[in-house]
Amino acid sequence: MYHMHHVLSTLSTLSQETEIAPVIAPYWERAEFPHALLPALAKLGLGGGTLKGHGCAGLSINAAAIASAEIARVDGSMSTFVLVHNFLAMLTIGLLGSEEQKRELLPRMAQYQMVGSWALTEPTNGSDASGLLTTARKVSGGYVINGMGCAFCFHLVHVPICGTCMWHHR
């Protein structure tokens, strides 16, 4: 296990230092998402993090943590993007999505050909998931949503598919 983590750390470090570190700052200065760097992330083979199948990396939690730490060492914003993409967007699809959604979305997301994002907020509770008041009730043909949920995300303009999933547990 140590050997795999060492190799992953070394590969991640080399790629990040040679392909991302030298060019990332101007993207943030222009407030621009670095789409051109997504192939470098795909080459690392980290897409999907701990998810298995559908082209996902199937990393151990330790390997995923090491990869995140290495990316953050080079650029914290890229690490945040990778964590949101792999563990909020992709993991949600992997755990809660239909088989059709998994087959259609996860392989492209694992290769960073499609960017995933995740947003959660309500006017009175912010992003405190435990305090959500909005509910969804299944009805014939869909859901009735009751509440004042609002969604925003800085990646939203770059996401070709936008869906809403609301889960309320009492």
Query: 13-24, pLDDT tens digit by residue?
Result: 656 678 888 899
Answer whether residue 7 shows pLDDT above 80: no
Domain count of the chain? 1
Asked, for residue 163, whether it belongs to a domain, the answer is no
Q: In CATH, what number is assigned to the domain containing residue 71?
A: 1.10.540.10
Answer whether residue 26 shows pLDDT above 90: yes
Contacts of 166 (CB under 8 A, 6+ apart): 134, 135, 136, 143, 145, 149
Asked, for residue 167, whether it belongs to a domain, the answer is no
pLDDT value of residue 20: 84
Asked which of 60-64, 110-114, 149-153 is least confident by mean pLDDT, the reply is 149-153
Asked, for residue 123, whether it belongs to a domain, the answer is no
Asked, for residue 134, whether it belongs to a domain, the answer is no
Domain that residue 103 falls in: 2-110
Determine the Cα–Cα distance for residues 15 and 41; give it in Å rounded to an integer: 8
Asked, for residue 158, whether it belongs to a domain, the answer is no
Asked, for residue 7, whether it belongs to a domain, the answer is yes
Question: Residue 95 is which amino acid?
Answer: L
Asked, for residue 53, whether it belongs to a domain, the answer is yes
Predicted TM-score (pTM) of this structure: 0.74
168 or 14, which is more confident = 14
Half-sphere exposure of 61 (CA within 13 A, CB side): 0
Query: How does pLDDT run across 40-91, given as a tens digit for each residue?
Result: 888 888 999 999 999 999 999 988 988 888 888 888 999 999 999 999 899 9
125 or 97, which is more confident = 97
Asked, for residue 155, whether it belongs to a domain, the answer is no
* Mean predicted lDDT score pLDDT of the chain: 80
Adjacent-strand bridge partners of 122 = 126
